Amino acid sequence: MKLRNIAIIAHVDHGKTTLVDKLLAQSGTFRENQRTEERAMDSNDLERERGITILAKATSVEWNDTRINIVDTPGHADFGGEVERILNMVDGAVILVDAAEGPMPQTKFVLGKALKVGLKPIVAINKIDRSDERHKEVLDEIFDLFVALDATEEQLDFPVLYGSGRAGWLASEPDGPQDQGLTPLFEKIIEHVPEPDTANVNEPFKMIGTILEANPFLGRLITGRIQSGTIKPNQAVKVLGRDGNLIENGRITRILAFRGLERVPLDSAQSGDIVAIAGLSKGTVADTFCDPSVTQPLDAQPIDPPTVTMSFIVNDSPLAGTEGDKVTSRMIRDRLMKEAEGNVALEITESPDKDSFFVSGRGELQLAVLIETMRREGFELGISRPRVVMKEGENGEVLEPLEEVVIDVDEEHSGIVVQKMSERKAEMIELRPSGGDRQRLVFHAPTRGLIGYQSELLTDTRGTAIMNRLFHSYAPFKGELPGRTNGVLISSEDGESVAYAMFNLEDRGPMVIDAGVKVYAGMIIGIHSRENDLEVNVLKGKKLTNMRASGKDEAVKLTPPIRMTLDRALSWIQDDELVEVTPKNIRLRKLYLDPHERKRFEKSRKAA
């Protein structure tokens, strides 16, 4: 069969995974009566819960006499490393753009990477059925973006389709016809995307590892595109690192091809095809899998550096080990190293005392997803506040990461957004209407200032603002930023919280825990209404006597506590606080539980 390899790339929520669902259905991959999940490619529990794609995944469909390998990619900037890796697997890309929102930061990021490696994109303007669609302006913005990213004349001559992925149709005109379904897209892929070069089929086998996953029956599965030669089961291969050093020798036990949502074993595969191979125990992402006669590794795409780091600390609270079964530093280390193998955008370093690990990634969301995954696997951890990764400039000056921030907001709330962003040392680059009484504000802001801003932005704009961020560059340090304005309420005793005590403390500030939960000295139980921290006793019950009270005893009614989700807790805590993460609970605590140690730490910090 003829072959085409394409990636579907776009900003988060522009409809990539939904479009892949319809491509699978309309190509006859599913039986007519077959029950399928919505967003079939989002196989991971966290992907389904959050409604985002986290891991790049491959599938394939047959259209007439052509097999089309499709790679579905994440749209969130924090998982951009996944997109960068898969671009050397494909010969073309479908760039999906929302007909109302237009090109967003992640569209710009992935399009820039795609153009750089010479891909010829097909532009699909999706969600044309939205009431606020503005396809003409969006097409102009896409063209301007291509020009700004130095596209070649051939790349600028891109075909454009309009339609609705959810409704399952795309056409060359915005108003249809709709009865052809996705046939125009299939035809454009076959016509516009070049066939993989198979002239090197007689050369030695070479393949670059792109996606790593663990299979309970086959062990490590490495997915990649065969760059040259052919491969068969039981064939001897070796693995070369990016620097050309030998990592291991071995044999391939199984070759799997992607057929719809299934994996099918193959007797052989040749250059140009995307396959997964099993049988090697050490080879990982960005390594070259090749014939024993090959001496030079293939060039891997360079990956952008991480910008945010957190400390993963062995849980040392009084409740450690009561809710999770994986609590030792050795278990945490093994799990983090395993994660770093498959995720090249992560960097992990061990602290000298071996009790904590510095994990660096693209953003808080990427690290929060890792923490949530580990929590569900039974790990207990203490997590520090996210910090940005600083660099040293040529003149010895300190450089910090800047992000391009795009905020879509109702016009009435734009003033407060501009004010809050300027307080965070952001510089406004652009302000323009984005349709429907909304404005698009574009800033260059230090990453430090954006930690914790998402929830504040939603409060300020009554939930109407949409913020998107993307790493821009490193720039000179912009000075100190304002921190959290409120102190915290800290438990002074170990035990179970009592409703009567919490009711009497409500004047001091809102709580973050319920009554009847386990607390310990040094644990944060509420937000103080003033700037300073305050130690309180939440275990104090009502004094009972055998004298009848003259007043009427009423049931205590507590104000519902503020629910701290993992993402919110990570962005809210200060440098001297930790988030304690266990399979059952997310607690907030002080770094030093003992009040005397806290005072000593505070004095030393002020002196410094």
Which positions make up the binding site for GTP? 13-18, 126-129
What is the largest distance, in Å, between two alpha-carbon atoms of the chain?
Answer: 98
How far apart are alpha carbons 519 and 539 in whole angstroms?
9
- Cα 54 to chain centroid distance, Å, stands at 6
How far apart are alpha carbons 39 and 440 in whole angstroms?
29
Are 142 and 151 a contacting pair, CB within 8 Å? no
Residue 82 buriedness (CB in 10 A; 0-12 / 13-18 / 19+): buried
Q: Does residue 566 sit in helix, strand or coil?
A: helix
Omega before residue 352 within 30° of 0, cis: no
Looking at 43-91, which runs of residues are DSSP E strands? 57-63, 66-72
Sequence-distant (6+) residues with CB within 8 A of 406 are: 104, 105, 440, 441, 442, 467, 468, 469
Are 462 and 409 a contacting pair, CB within 8 Å? no
User: Binding site, residues?
Assistant: 13-18, 126-129
- What are the C-alpha distances in Å from 243 to residues 166, 205, 206, 339? 45, 19, 16, 21
Sign of the C-alpha dihedral, residues 461, 463, 468, 473? positive
Are 146 and 158 a contacting pair, CB within 8 Å? yes
